[in-house]
Amino acid sequence: MSEDDNPTTAEGPTRVGTPSTAGDPTTDDNHPAMRLVHLLRAVTMELHLRGAEFAERNGLHPTDLRALVRLLDADRAGAVVTPGRLGEALKLNSAGTTALLDRLERLGLVRRTRDERDRRRVLLAVEQEAVDLGRSFFGPLIGGLVGAAGEFTAAELAVVQRYLTAALHVAASAGPPDGGAP
């Protein structure tokens, strides 16, 4: 990052998008924040294309892949997932969630088990087969991303993490532009 990319004043670094920034940054493609938005969109598109390729190669629907990712993320966080919670996260109705889980279970990628504390409740887990399948396809990509992260200091990575966390929050809470139903 050059000094031009990080302007400072006597008070310290100037924040992008502070009142000192002239005009509307969302209409200026050269504004540093908009360059980040466009770069984030490009990364998102590349990852989406890799996910679609993985899904196609393995006879999966893109929603199947999103379900597997949600379940893997929940497992990594130590959270349990029920069919209802998964359907809610994927914005699927009950019938769609059941069809999705039937498909993934038939492929040996997900299992449903009864909660030992409440036998009425069904819990979802990703099978090792799904983990291995994902690693074989996405492993080189993940290795490349981890390698790219090695080019940054811990402080720089903390800033990137802060921005991506904020971007995730904005994206997750954004509704339709008109405020109505999609």
**What pLDDT digit, counting tens, does each position of 33-86 carry?**
999 999 999 999 999 999 999 999 999 999 999 999 999 999 999 999 999 999
Side-chain half-sphere exposure of 85, counting CA atoms within 13 A: 12
Query: Quick check: helix, strand or coil at residue 125?
Result: strand
Residue 70 CA to residue 76 CA, distance in Å, equals: 10
Pick the more confident residue, 100 or 17.
100
Q: What is the pLDDT of residue 20?
A: 46
**What is the secondary structure of the chain as a DSSP string?**
--GGGS-EETTEEPPTTSTTS-S-GGG-TTSHHHHHHHHHHHHHHHHHHHHHHHHHHTT--HHHHHHHHHHHHHHHHT--B-HHHHHHHHT--HHHHHHHHHHHHHTTSEEEEE-SS-TT-EEEEE-HHHHHHHHHHHHHHHHHHHHHHTTS-HHHHHHHHHHHHHHHHHHHH---TTSS--
- pLDDT at residue 104, as a whole number: 97
Q: What is the pLDDT of residue 1?
A: 45
What's the pLDDT at 182? 53
pTM of the model: 0.77
More confident call, 179 vs 29: 29
Predicted local distance difference test score (pLDDT) of residue 69: 95
Q: What is the pLDDT of residues 111-169, one digit of tens each?
A: 999 988 888 899 999 999 999 999 999 999 999 999 999 999 999 999 999 999 999 99
pLDDT grade, residue 174 (50/70/90)?
Answer: confident
